[in-house]
Amino acid sequence: MGRNLIIPGGTRIIDARGKYVMPGGIDPHTHFECELMGAKSVDDFYQGTKAAVAGGTTMIIDFVIPRKDESLLEAYERYRESADQKVCCDYSLHVAVTSWSPKVKEEMATLVKEHGIGSFKMFMAYRDMFMLRDPELIETFKACKELGAIAMVHAENGDIIAENTKRLLDAGVTGPEGHEMSRPEEVEAEAVNRACVIASQVNCPLYIVHVMSRSAAEAVDAARRRGACVFGETLAAAIGTDGTNYTHKCWKHAAAHVLSPPLRPDPDTSSVLLNMLANLLKSYKPTTSDTKISGWFRELGMTSIKTYLELNRISLSDLSSRETSRSLCKSTNLIHETPKPPKPGLFFIALRDSVNCPLYVTALSSKSAADVVSSKRSEGVVLFGETLASTVGIDGSEQYGKDIEKGRRYVTSPPLRPDSTTPTYLIEHLAQDGLQVTGSDNCTFNAEQKALGKDDFSKIPNGVNGVEDRMSVVWEKGVHAGIMEPTRFVAVTSTNAAKIFNLYPRKGVIAVGSDADIVVWDPNRKRTISAQTHVQAVDFNIFEGMEVHGVPEYVIVEGRVCVDECELKAVHGFGKFVETPSQNIDYVYCLIEDREKRPRGVARTEAEAKKHAEEDAAIA
Ligand code: URP
Ligand code: ZN
Ligand code: ZN
C-alpha cells in the first residue's frame, strides 16, 4: 500500500470493482488434531487451515490442550512441531491450563516470556478432565494478570452438568438430546457470570469463548456495562444453526451437532411472548406502592390487555399453547380477515423508572423487547407489557415472501419477526457490541468417532465444523440480513480478535506495514454449503443446505493469491507461528489500568485529632 507506488513489470492486477476488499478473517478458536474424549479431531493443521483459507480466513488461533500428566511446555512444543510444517496460513496458540500448581504457574510465565503466548484457557466444565474450581480459577486469573496475559474461560457449571447427566441417564435418556438437557442455558449463564465476577475482582481481562445462549450473552453484556474488562466470542455454529437438531430422528445427524456449550433449541418469538403474557396476567397483584402511584393506570392497563383478549376471543388458557393460539387466530379469522395491515404504532420502551411513572408498553413484538420488559419488571419497575395477536399467532417468515401483494398486508411496526431465535439474538449482540468476536470452535469428529457415545450422550466427542464457513455464515446472517454493517462484520470476524490478542496492526487491518492478508469479497455471488463440496476433512456439515450470499473471490495470504477467482490454491506449510505478546496496553490492559482500585485507608493526623477534641470540648 502507498501513494505513487512504482509497480514492477509483470505485476498481476486484480480488479476488485464492485467487491469488498477487507482484511483476511481471523478465527480465534479452532481445535485441529485435538485429542478429546477418546478421539482425535479429523481436521489437522493442514486440512483445517486449507479450509480456513477457502472460506476467507487467513489466520487461526488454536488451543494447546495438555494430555494427562503432560506439562504445559511439552504440550506447547508438541503442537508447534505438528503445526509449523502443515499450516497454510499464519497461526497462534492459546494454552489451556487444566490443573493448578506452582509448576504450572512457572510454566505459564515461561510460555509468556519465551514463547509468545498471551492467553490461557481455563475450563469450568469437563469435570474430572479439565475442570478448575473457583479457588484455582482465582489463582490462574491472578497469574494471567501478573503476566499481562488474557484469561479465557469455557463457562459452564461442570458440577451441575455431572449431576444432570447422571439423572438423565438413570431416567433412560441416552441420546444426543440429553446433551442439551444436561447443560441448559442457565448452566452456561451462571458460569459466565461467575467468571466475570472473579475476573473483575482480581482485575484480570477475561475472554469468554463460545457464548452460546441468550442469557450467557446477557451476562457478558451486563459485565461489560458494569465496566469489567470482558470480551465475548460467539460461534458460527451458534449463529448458523440451532439446537432443534438434537431431537432429529437420525442419531448420526443429532450427534454431529453435539458441542459444548450446546446449540440452543430456542422457542420462537411467539412462544416467548405467549408465556410472558400468560405469566403477566397470572402473576398480576396490585402492591401498595403500585396502588398509591397509579391505581387508575393499573386498572386501565390491565383492562386494556383483558379487553384486547376478550375482543379477540382469546382466553388465558388458550395462550399457554402456541398451537392453540395459531389455530385460534386462524379460526377466528383474526389474521386473515384483517382488512388492513395491523395498525402500526405503539412501541417505544421509554422506561421511566427514574420518575417512577407507571408504564404500559404496547405491541411488544420481539424477544429482546420482551426481555427488557420482564427484566425491568423483576427489578420492581411498575411496568406492563402488551403484545399483539398477530405477533403471537404468526411470524414473518411466510408473510414477507415472494408475493408482494400478500406481504404488504402484514406490514406493521415493529414488524413481525421472520426469525428471532437465539442465532438472531447473538448476531444482534455482535452487531451492537454486546459480543465482540466470532470464532468457529472447529473441532470435527467423523460419524464413527461420534458413535463412541452411541449408548450415552455424555461420551459423544464434543465439537462441530465452522472454520471454513464462519465468514459466509456471519455475512449471511448479519450483513445480508440487514442486521450488521459491513464494517462491523470486519470487526467481529477479524479486527477485534487481532486487537484483543495483540496481533494488531500486523493483522486485522489493511494498512501500510500490515501483513498482506486480504480478501476480495463478492457480496452478490451465492453458494450452497454442503459436506459434499467442502474442503474440510469431516464427513458432515452442520450448515448443510444453507444458501449464503457473500463468497471470497480472492484470498491473499501474506501476498500470495491462495484463492484465485474462487479456486483454492493453498500451500502446505506456507504459514508461520505468530507470537501474541502479553502486556497488550493499547487494547486490553488500558481498560484494566483505568479501573485499578488501589485500596487506601483513611489518613488521620495528630493535628486533626487535636482539632476534633477541641471542637468537642467547645460543644460541651
Ligand atoms: O464442544 C466443543 N466446544 N469442543 C471443543 C472443546 C471446547 O470446549 O472448546
Ligand atoms: Zn470450550
Ligand atoms: Zn473450543
Return d(Cα 314, Cα 349) in angstroms, integer.
Answer: 25
Hey, CA dihedral for 192, 197, 198, 202, is it positive or negative? positive
SS3 of 386, please?
A: strand
pLDDT category of residue 408 using cuts at 50, 70 and 90: low
Q: How much is the average pLDDT of 94-115?
A: 98
Return d(Cα 245, Cα 265) in angstroms, integer.
Answer: 8
Cell 404504532, residue located: 345
Name the residues around ion ligand 2, CB cutoff 5 A.
Answer: 154
Q: How much is the average pLDDT of 590-597?
A: 77
- Kindly report whether the peptide bond that precedes residue 552 is cis, defined as omega within 30 degrees of 0: no
Whether the pLDDT of residue 100 is over 80: the answer is yes
Q: What is the DSSP string of 344-362?
A: P--------GGGT--EEEE
Q: How much is the average pLDDT of 535-540?
A: 97
Q: What is the DSSP string of 299-359?
A: HHHHHHHHHHHHHTT--HHHHT-HHHHHHHHHHTTTTTT-SSSPPP--------GGGT--E
Q: Ligand 3 centre and the CA of 413: distance in Å?
A: 40
- Kindly report whether the peptide bond that precedes residue 505 is cis, defined as omega within 30 degrees of 0: yes
Q: Ligand 2 centre and the CA of 34: distance in Å?
A: 12
Q: How much is the average pLDDT of 38-59?
A: 98
Return d(Cα 164, Cα 269) in angstroms, integer.
Answer: 27
Whether the pLDDT of residue 379 is over 70: the answer is no
Ligand with smallest separation from the Cα of 62: 3
Which pairs from 2-10 meet CB under 8 Å and 24+ separation? 2/512
Q: How far is CA 195 from CA 331, 441, 466, in A?
A: 50, 20, 26
Question: Is 463 touching ligand 1 by the criterion CB < 6 Å?
Answer: yes
Q: What is the CB-side half-sphere exposure of residue 360 using CA atoms within 13 A?
A: 14
More confident residue, 407 or 26: 26
C-alpha cell at 157: 457449571
| Predicted pLDDT at 418 | 54
| Predicted pLDDT at 505 | 97
Question: Is 180 touching ligand 1 by the criterion CB < 6 Å?
Answer: no
Q: Ligand 3 centre and the CA of 100: distance in Å?
A: 20
Poorest-pLDDT segment among 88-102, 197-211, 312-326: 312-326
Return d(Cα 40, Cα 446) in angstroms, integer.
Answer: 10
Whether the pLDDT of residue 383 is over 90: the answer is no
Q: Ligand 2 centre and the CA of 571: distance in Å?
A: 29
pLDDT category of residue 112 using cuts at 50, 70 and 90: very high
Report which secondary-structure segment, H or E, holds 92. Answer: strand 90-97
Q: Ligand 2 centre and the CA of 210: distance in Å?
A: 7
Question: Is 260 touching ligand 1 by the criterion CB < 6 Å?
Answer: yes
ipTM of the complex: 0.95
**64 pairs with which residues across the strands?**
95
Q: Ligand 1 centre and the CA of 443: distance in Å?
A: 7
| Predicted pLDDT at 346 | 25
User: Do 389 and 201 touch, CB atoms closer than 8 A?
Assistant: no
pLDDT category of residue 432 using cuts at 50, 70 and 90: confident
Ligand with smallest separation from the Cα of 183: 1
Kindly tell me the burial class for residue 350, based on how many C-beta atoms sit within 10 Å of its own C-beta (0-12, 13-18, 19 or more).
Answer: exposed
SS3 of 260, please?
A: coil
Return d(Cα 357, Cα 363) in angstroms, integer.
Answer: 19
User: Longest Cα pair distance anywhere in the chain, in angstroms?
Assistant: 98
Task: Give per-residue pLDDT as tens, 540-567.
Answer: 999 999 999 999 999 999 999 999 999 9
Whether the pLDDT of residue 416 is over 80: the answer is no
C-alpha cell at 347: 412501541
- If you average pLDDT over every residue of the chain, what do you get? 83
Whether the pLDDT of residue 341 is over 70: the answer is no
Task: Tell me the best of 30, 126, 156, 441 to mutate to test the pocket of ligand 1, counting ligand atoms within 8 Å of each CB and taking the most.
Answer: 441
Q: Ligand 1 centre and the CA of 274: distance in Å?
A: 34
Ligand with smallest separation from the Cα of 34: 1
User: Do 574 and 560 touch, CB atoms closer than 8 A?
Assistant: yes
Report which secondary-structure segment, H or E, holds 374. Answer: helix 367-378
Task: Tell me the best of 40, 462, 465, 467 to mutate to test the pocket of ligand 1, counting ligand atoms within 8 Å of each CB and taking the most.
Answer: 462
Q: Label each residue of 142-210 as H, E or C.
A: HHHHHHCCEEEEECCCHHHHHHHHHHHHHCCCCCCHHHHHHCCHHHHHHHHHHHHHHHHHCCCCEEECC
| Predicted pLDDT at 538 | 97
C-alpha cell at 94: 492459546
| Predicted pLDDT at 310 | 55
The pair phi, psi for residue 424, each rounded to 5°, is -65, -40
Ligand with smallest separation from the Cα of 465: 1
Total number of residues shown for the chain: 620
- Kindly report whether the peptide bond that precedes residue 414 is cis, defined as omega within 30 degrees of 0: yes
**464 pairs with which residues across the strands?**
442
Residue ID of nearest Cα to ligand 1 atom 9? 441
Return d(Cα 345, Cα 414) in angstroms, integer.
Answer: 8
Q: Which atom of ligand 1 is nearest to the CA of 121?
A: 9
Residue ID of nearest Cα to ligand 1 atom 4? 463
Question: Is 94 touching ligand 1 by the criterion CB < 6 Å?
Answer: no
Return d(Cα 281, Cα 309) in angstroms, integer.
Answer: 11
Residue type at 504 in one-letter notation:
Y
Closest listed residue to residue 150, CA positions, set 107, 209, 98: 209
Strands 150-154, 39-40: pairing kind:
unpaired
| Predicted pLDDT at 395 | 53
Whether the pLDDT of residue 577 is over 50: the answer is yes
Residue 497 C-alpha from the chain's centroid = 13
Task: Tell me the best of 443, 445, 457, 465 to mutate to test the pocket of ligand 1, counting ligand atoms within 8 Å of each CB and taking the most.
Answer: 443
DSSP code, position 414: S
User: Do 373 and 349 touch, CB atoms closer than 8 A?
Assistant: yes
Task: Tell me the best of 260, 457, 467, 538 to mutate to test the pocket of ligand 1, counting ligand atoms within 8 Å of each CB and taking the most.
Answer: 260
| Predicted pLDDT at 399 | 52
- E-state strands within 434-546: 437-439, 518-528
The pair phi, psi for residue 120, each rounded to 5°, is -130, 135
Whether the pLDDT of residue 292 is over 50: the answer is no
Closest listed residue to residue 29, CA positions, set 311, 353, 260: 260
Q: Ligand 1 centre and the CA of 256: distance in Å?
A: 13
Q: How much is the average pLDDT of 352-373?
A: 58
Whether the pLDDT of residue 363 is over 70: the answer is no
Question: Is 443 touching ligand 1 by the criterion CB < 6 Å?
Answer: yes
Poorest-pLDDT segment among 56-70, 121-135, 189-203, 212-226: 212-226
Report which secondary-structure segment, H or E, holds 551. Answer: strand 547-557
User: Do 236 and 470 touch, CB atoms closer than 8 A?
Assistant: yes
Q: Ligand 2 centre and the CA of 254: distance in Å?
A: 19
Q: What is the CB-side half-sphere exposure of residue 591 using CA atoms within 13 A?
A: 21
Ligand with smallest separation from the Cα of 464: 1
Q: What is the DSSP string of 437-449?
A: EEE--B----HHH
Whether the pLDDT of residue 428 is over 80: the answer is yes
Question: Is 259 touching ligand 1 by the criterion CB < 6 Å?
Answer: yes
C-alpha cell at 519: 480478501
| Predicted pLDDT at 119 | 98
